[in-house]
């Protein structure tokens, strides 16, 4: 074992859902030195479904974005079916917003291409033991992001937040006015105020900023 990394003291079936064979080989070289671990792999969500039903893996590692769908949404659906599912989401980006999204979807951990071999081993071991694992650096970034979100939220009135949420759900100004029981003029006023607060030139740009910032209003 390298650098004192922990190792599971029990047998573990691990399923890796990853479309790139070279990445799967990387996982094998890192994790299969543990004789108690058996690693299976699937290239797509479609391929993973029957394997999960048959193998009932102890831990699943899944890429955030696969050729046939989102790893986040796949884990969300699986978690509703199997509340005790233990999963890790891998992404090429170590973005704190992605970490928060992973946890919100029901994943027990997150790591990125910057994670070391020892961190990957520790993540699999921790999640296999029913714990949550996030890298120390990302935990700090998440804390700063949460603070920034709170400051961001404080810029908007309650009605502006409601208008923005409805816009993000695809509602028109007329539909928003009906839903909130206000005039279309007030909807336009709120949109103008939010564009100014976000320094956005158009409503589309305002919505893009909201999505990128993961406001969760």
Q: Is the Cα dihedral 118, 120, 124, 126 positive or negative?
A: positive
**pLDDT at position 91, please?**
92
Mean pLDDT of 42-71: 95
Least Cα distance to 107 among 135, 77, 136, 137 occurs for 77
What's residue 5's pLDDT?
44
Q: How many CA atoms lie within 13 A of 89 on its CB side?
A: 27
Which pLDDT value is given to residue 100?
Answer: 78
Are residues 24 and 16 in contact, defined by beta-carbon separation less than 8 angstroms? yes
Instruction: Give yes or no on whether 12-135 and 155-213 have one common fold.
Output: no
Contact status, residue 183 vs residue 190, Cβ threshold 8 Å: no
Correct CATH for 12-135 of 3.20.20.140, 3.40.50.2020, 3.40.50.2300, 3.40.50.300: 3.40.50.2300
**Predicted TM-score (pTM) of this structure:** 0.65
Section 79-99 average pLDDT = 87
Q: Where are the domains of the chain?
A: 12-135, 155-213
Per CATH, domain 155-213 is 1.10.10.10? yes
Q: What is the mean pLDDT of residues 167-185?
A: 90
């Amino acid at each position: 074992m390298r650098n004192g990394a922990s190792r599971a003291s029990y047998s573990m079936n691990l399923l890796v859902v990853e479309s790139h064979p070279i990445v799967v080989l990387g996982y094998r070289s890192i994790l299969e030195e543990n004789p108690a671990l058996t690693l299976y792999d699937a290239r797509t969500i479609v391929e993973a479904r029957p394997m999960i039903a048959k193998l009932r893996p102890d831990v699943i590692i899944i890429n955030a974005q696969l050729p046939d769908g989102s790893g986040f949404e796949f884990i969300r659906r699986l978690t509703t079916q199997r509340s005790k599912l233990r999963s890790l989401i891998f992404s090429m980006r170590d973005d704190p917003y992605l970490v928060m999204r992973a946890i919100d979807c029901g994943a027990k951990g997150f790591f990125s291409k910057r994670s070391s071999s020892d961190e990957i081993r520790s993540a699999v071991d921790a999640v296999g033991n029913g714990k949550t694992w996030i890298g120390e650096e990302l935990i700090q970034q998440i804390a700063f992001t949460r603070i920034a979100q709170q400051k961001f939220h404080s810029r908007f009135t309650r009605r502006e937040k409601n208008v923005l949420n409805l816009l993000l759900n695809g509602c028109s100004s007329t539909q928003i006015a009906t839903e909130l029981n206000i005039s279309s003029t007030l909807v336009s006023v709120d949109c103008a105020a939010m564009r100014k607060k976000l320094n956005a030139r158009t409503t589309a740009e305002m919505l893009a900023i909201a999505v990128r910032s993961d406001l969760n209003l």
